[in-house]
């Protein structure tokens, strides 16, 4: 059973470019290196640009709850501190965990 670990982020417009570069090039790869992540992706919400903030979601897939719990206990605190030190006042973060109820991989022949 796959576990979904979602982080929803609202980032200040004035730090958005720096944050996207850092999250893409440094933070997500660092998490994938220390956690038993099977897949990960970063999404910018379409139409999420407000006057002062933009919305993003980072999603990690774990193969089981134990792998996620191990990451949260051992590696997440230091990585979260780094994120807070760099962008603390410029981001609002909400985390969620869920269980994938059905995984579909759709393959189609090229047109």
- What whole-number distance in Å separates Cα of residue 57 and Cα of residue 91? 12
pLDDT of res. 48:
65
Dihedral in degrees, nearest 10, Cα atoms 41, 26, 50, 98: 40
- What whole-number distance in Å separates Cα of residue 101 and Cα of residue 1? 8
pLDDT in tens, 15-46: 999 999 999 999 999 999 999 998 999 999 88
**Is the sign of the CA dihedral 35, 76, 62, 67 positive or negative?**
positive
DSSP 64-105: SHHHHHHHHHHTHHHHHHHHHHHHGGGEEEEEEEEE-S----
Which CATH number describes the domain made up of 3-99? 3.30.70.100
pLDDT of res. 46:
81
pLDDT in tens, 34-86: 999 989 999 998 876 678 999 999 999 999 999 999 999 999 999 999 999 99
pLDDT of res. 10:
95
The residue assigned the tokens 């929803």 is 8
Question: Are 58 and 7 in contact, with CB atoms under 8 Å apart?
Answer: yes
Boundaries of every domain in the chain:
3-99
């Amino acid at each position: 059973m796959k576990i979904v670990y979602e982080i929803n982020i609202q980032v200040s417009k004035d730090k958005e470019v720096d944050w996207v570069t850092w999250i893409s090039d440094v933070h997500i790869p660092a998490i994938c290196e220390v956690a038993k992540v099977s897949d990960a992706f970063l999404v910018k919400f379409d139409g999420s640009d407000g006057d002062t903030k933009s919305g993003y979601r980072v999603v990690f897939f774990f193969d089981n709850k134990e792998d996620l719990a191990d990451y949260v206990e051992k590696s997440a605190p230091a990585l979260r501190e780094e994120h807070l030190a760099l962008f603390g006042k410029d981001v609002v973060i909400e985390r969620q965990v869920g269980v994938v109820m059905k995984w579909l991989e759709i393959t189609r022949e090229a047109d």
